[in-house]
Structures are given as C-alpha cells and as structure tokens.
Amino acid sequence: MSSQANEPLIRDIVQEVLGRLGRSAPSGAGKAGTPAAAPSPACDRPGPTHAPASRPGRYGVFGDANEACAAAHAAYRQLSEKGVAGRNTVVRIIKEICCAKSKEWGRLELDETKIGRLDHKIEKLEGLRAVPGVEFLQPYGLSGDHGITLEECAPFGVIGAVTPSTHSIPTVACNIISMVAAGNSVVFNAHPGAAKCALAAVRVFNESIHRELGIENLACLIDPPTLDSFQALAKNEHVKLLCVTGGPGVVKAAMASGKRAVCAGPGNPPVLVDGTSCLERAARQVILGAAYDNNVLCIGEKEVFVLDRVFDAFLAALEKNGACRLSGAQVERLTQAAFTFLPGHGGGCAEPVVNRALIGKDVPVLAQAAGINAPAGAPLLFAETEANHPFVQEEQMMPFLPVVRVRSVEEGIEGARIAERGYKHSAMIHSHDVANMTAMAKALETTLFVKNGSCLAGLGNGGEGYPNFSIATTTGEGICNPRTFTRMRRCVMVDKLRIF
C-alpha cells in the first residue's frame, strides 16, 4: 500500500488516541481547512463503540449505519459539553436555514418525490419556525422537610429516526429541532424515494452546526437507506430510542425491534358535518385541509360524512368554493386507476391497494384519470360515494374527497369510526352541538380532534398549538416535541439545602 493510501488510517488513529487523551488533533491531522472539534472531557471516557472514529468532512452522511451511529454518539457527547446554549444554537440554525432555503428545498423535494404542491412544500419549511425548542423542557421541583428533589428531562443519547416520502426535509428538520433541543443526536434512515433531498439538507445543517459549534455529525443520515440499514440502525448499541414516521410497515418493524419506539403511524382522518354549524365555513375548511399538499398530510381530511338533510347544500358549498364534482361513472374510472384489487383472504372481498403512482398528484392528473378536464385552479375533486368505498376506507393521499350521506349523527360517527380504522390519528367535526362533538371524540379516541376548523388547525395553523411532522399516534406520545425525546431523571438532595 502506498504511504498516501495509509494517510486516512493514520489520521484516524491519531484522532482516536488524542481524543482519548482529551486533546484535539493537530490541524495537519484533520482535513485541510476543517476546524478541529473542541476538546471534550467527556471523550476521556471510552465509549461503548468499537467502530473507528469517523473521518472529518462527512457532515453527517455515512454509507454504513454503525459508522453513522458511532459518529452521532461522539456528537452527542460534544453537544452535552456545549450545554443548553449549544442546543439553542442548533435549533436556531435549523429554523433559519429552512426559512432561507424554503423555495430551493421545496423545489428539490418536489423534483425528487413528485408528490404534493410546491407552494405547500415551501410553507411547510417556513412553518418550522413555530416548532418548540429547549424552552419546552420544564423540570419538576419538589421541596419539603427532607430536602429538595428535581426531576429533569434528560436526553436519551442517539436516536434512530425513519422519515416518510410525503414530507422528507420538513420531518428531518423538525425531528432534529425536537431531538437536539432535548440534548440528543440522531441518525436518519430516510425514505429511499426522498433520500437525496434529505441528504442535501442534513449536509447543510451539519456544515452550519460545525461552523458555529465545532460539532460535525449531530444529525447523521445513512446513504443509501435500505431495509438492512434500518435493521442495523435499530440494533446498534448506541441507539437508545427509535422514532419512526410512516405507514403500517415501518411501525410494525420498529415495534418488532425490541427498542423503545416512538411511532408516528398512518391515519385516515374522517370528517363529520352534522348541519348545526355554517355549511359554507365547513366546506371552505374541508377544502383547505384536504387539498393541502394534494392531501398527503397524515392529518388531512380523507373522507366526509354529512347528514342527509344538509347533504346537497354541503356539496353545493364545496362546488361554490372551487372544488370539482365527479359523476358516479367518473369516480368509477378514477377508482380503477387509483387502486389495484388483490384477491381477498379465503375467497373474501377483494383488497384494494393504493396505486402509489397517483399519491400526491395534482388535480388535473387525477381528473384525467377520471376522464375529465378539471377547471383550471380547482384545488380538489369530490363526489358522493358509499361508506364502504375504497376511497373512504383506504388512506389514499390524493386530492379526491369522497362524501358519504348518513341518516343520523350516530350513523355518521360509526361510519367515521370504521373509516378511521383504529389508527387513533385525527378526526374533524363541523358542529355547534357539544353533545355530538363529545360523542365523536369518545367513539374515535383520536390523537387530534379538530372542531370547526381544518386539519391544519390541529398543528397550530389556524388553531392554538405548535406544529410537528411526527404525530406519535400508535405509541401515544401525541404531537412530538422536545419532551417526547427525553427520559425523566430524579436528583435528590437530602436535608440541608433548602433556604428556609
């Protein structure tokens, strides 16, 4: 082997030895122009990793899951040396970059995934401003005859995260904000169909964090992401917690991993319109939510149940507000394009499977599949369907809204409960009847329940509250925030320290 080929190896060994001695590497040992990381007393303690220290200049991008986890673990140690101020700096950096690059990254993500709408991709990145940071972590104090006790929100360490194709950069960014605000580092296994944009974002985040704090790999990403790299991530000894955002497959895989997992799973949010509130407003809000990013939001309105006596008036209000009505024959054509039907188990009913090629596509594309040309600028297609229609029962993520006629509030709530499929994700009601609101909330037990607003109000856009792109429905943590990524630790001072 030439001496040149040996150079990175020697540099790695020098870094490792100096790291253990608590000194930073001489500048010549690192990559030219790369500031050496601040010396960290925590590095004196040998970590549990046997993977070699990562070479500088990776800025979070690793081909190997175990190498990524080792680098994220070293970064976690460095972050703890930077204190709360360091975490605040990272949160500020992520938010600033997402705002500054919203247009560029919105386009980048849309070009890669071909899912959703550019204006909403940009809005989602800019909306990250409102994701809570370190201020969300409040310790709990006790003071009494026996002294003082403090319960603190402590970090886990390295978190393994999986992100969806529907909002790749926004989920990566808001996961970093919540996880780092809580003092953790993170390794991502992004969706393969949305991994290039996630990689670009992670690299820019790390470059900036490195410039300001000297930490290079706080948010790592495995390139390319595969099912095997997910398994390696889940098994890695540094990874103390998983956070997965996606459909049923990844939730199942995370739950089976044996690690503690925060699972932000699938949804199929129903809406009930009982006719006791303004129909015009209900129609506008339903369009707002269901049309958003071509209905790829997991919280987005996916099907509506409307009382018979106001049914026709509600459809007219949808039309008046720009949505385009399909006939029965057009819905049938769209259904054949949007689903394939697998033979049911034991000769039972055929099982519809969503055609991924139509997920998040624009209204004109869907309209073509239905056999019509939609009016220019129509935000949404809709039609009357039966309650058992595949568009009602499956999480279809397309800007087509099935509307079901029901004879009573009870029938509407039961239809909504069945369509929601026990995901306990999100539901909406348009009503001024408190008893109906309560009955629906009790029957569905969803994580988000919005009254008289669009689904977006559930994430602070038109309603009170903060946003996040990971809503931990399956495992019950709710809308993720920095607290979600902490473990509670109690510190007890016996007797003498009270001031009275």
Smallest distance, ligand NAD to C-beta of residue 463, A: 17
Site membership for ligand NAD, residue 54 (CB under 6 A): no
The amino acid at 156:
F
Pairing of strands 400-406, 426-430: unpaired
- Name the one range near ligand NAD by CB under 6 A: 9-17, 33-41, 243-251, 382-390: 243-251
Of 247, 250, 246, which is closest to residue 234 (Cα–Cα)?
Answer: 250
| Site size toward ligand NAD, by CB under 6 A | 26
Q: Which residues within the stretch 192-211 sit at the binding site for ligand NAD (CB under 6 A)?
A: 192
CA atoms within 13 A on the CB side of 254: 28
Q: Which residues within the stretch 441-500 sit at the binding site for ligand NAD (CB under 6 A)?
A: 469-471, 473
- Name the one range near ligand NAD by CB under 6 A: 244-252, 307-315, 321-329, 458-466: 244-252
Smallest distance, ligand NAD to C-beta of residue 253, A: 3
Q: Which is nearer to ligand NAD, 263 or 406 (CB)?
A: 263
- Name the one range near ligand NAD by CB under 6 A: 21-29, 51-59, 188-196, 287-295: 188-196
Smallest distance, ligand NAD to C-beta of residue 439, A: 25
Q: Which is nearer to ligand NAD, 194 or 429 (CB)?
A: 194
Residue of the chain from 25, 75, 108, 264 that contacts ligand NAD (CB under 6 A): 264
Q: Which is nearer to ligand NAD, 190 or 366 (CB)?
A: 190
Position of minimal CB gap to ligand NAD: 246
Residue of the chain from 72, 137, 219, 298 that contacts ligand NAD (CB under 6 A): 298
Helix, strand, coil shares, percent, the chain, to 5: 45, 20, 35
Q: Which is nearer to ligand NAD, 166 or 431 (CB)?
A: 166
Residue of the chain from 19, 106, 267, 412 that contacts ligand NAD (CB under 6 A): 267
- Name the one range near ligand NAD by CB under 6 A: 86-94, 202-210, 258-266, 430-438: 258-266
Q: Which is nearer to ligand NAD, 162 or 182 (CB)?
A: 162
Q: Which is nearer to ligand NAD, 184 or 470 (CB)?
A: 470
d(CA 237, CA 384): 52
d(CA 500, CA 498): 6
Residue of the chain from 30, 60, 160, 164 that contacts ligand NAD (CB under 6 A): 164
Site membership for ligand NAD, residue 422 (CB under 6 A): no
- Name the one range near ligand NAD by CB under 6 A: 36-44, 249-257, 323-331, 364-372: 249-257
Smallest distance, ligand NAD to C-beta of residue 362, A: 18
Report the Cα 459 to chain-centroid distance in Å.
Answer: 12
- Name the one range near ligand NAD by CB under 6 A: 160-168, 319-327, 412-420, 428-436: 160-168
Q: Which residues of 209-228 are buried (b: 16+ CB within 10 A; e: fewer)?
A: bbeebbbbbbbbbbbebeee
Residues 6+ apart with CB under 8 A from 440: 272, 413, 416, 427, 429, 449
Q: Which is nearer to ligand NAD, 403 or 479 (CB)?
A: 479
Check: CB of residue 337 under 8 Å from CB of residue 355: yes
Q: Which is nearer to ligand NAD, 157 or 267 (CB)?
A: 267
Q: Which residues within the stretch 353-412 sit at the binding site for ligand NAD (CB under 6 A)?
A: 395
Please give the structure tokens belonging to residue 370.
Answer: 């239905």
Angle between helices 409-420 and 434-444 (to 10 degrees): 30
Smallest distance, ligand NAD to C-beta of residue 174, A: 10
Q: Which is nearer to ligand NAD, 227 or 350 (CB)?
A: 227
Please give the structure tokens belonging to residue 178.
Answer: 């919540």
Check: CB of residue 270 under 8 Å from CB of residue 304: yes
Q: DSSP assignment of 197-234, as one string?
A: HHHHHHHHHHHHHHHHHS---SEEEESS--HHHHHHHH
Query: What is the number of other CB atoms lying within 10 angstroms of the CB of residue 341?
Result: 13
Q: Nearest-5° angle of CA 341, CA 392, CA 476?
A: 105
Site membership for ligand NAD, residue 265 (CB under 6 A): yes
Helix (H) or strand (E) holding 170: helix 168-181
Query: What is the number of other CB atoms lying within 10 angstroms of the CB of residue 51?
Result: 18
Query: What is the number of other CB atoms lying within 10 angstroms of the CB of residue 9?
Result: 12
Binding site for ligand NAD (CB under 6 A): 162-166, 190-192, 227, 230, 245-247, 249-250, 253, 264-267, 298, 395, 469-471, 473
